[in-house]
Amino acid sequence: MVTYVWRNGDLVEKSMAELRDRKNPAPNIISDNMPMLKHHGSGQMIDSKRKFSKTTRELGMVELGNETPKPRQPARMDKRERIEDVQKAIYQLKNGQ
């Protein structure tokens, strides 16, 4: 399968395309280091992203933005239950709940 990229307003086969940034042709590297941070679950001071995530998982916690959402099951209601649910919601809205 051939992959194409945009270069100067044209689609070019990726293997034939020039590098976008000629000043720095090296790949980007994401470091594991971070400024010292206190882990609120353990109280430890940590300067490694990997160790921070590992500690979070070991404590049974979840990093927001990294959690895997569980699929939601649609509510199974018959017509009468739906009508009652809608009436309840309207009542709550009218009464400032």
pLDDT at site 91: 94
- The answer, yes or no, to whether residue 25 has pLDDT greater than 70, is no
Query: What's phi and psi for 4, nearest 5 deg?
Result: -115, 150
d(CA 14, CA 30): 23
d(CA 42, CA 60): 11
pLDDT at site 90: 95
pTM, whole model, 2 decimals? Answer: 0.44
Domain boundaries, the chain: 31-62
The 10s digit of each residue's pLDDT in 49-83 is 999 999 999 999 988 887 777 888 877 888 999 99
Question: At 46, is the pLDDT very low, low, confident or very high (cuts 50, 70, 90)?
Answer: very high
Write the burial class of residue 17 (CB in 10 Å: 0-12 exposed, 13-18 middle, 19+ buried): middle
Average pLDDT over the chain, rounded to an integer: 87
Length of the chain: 97
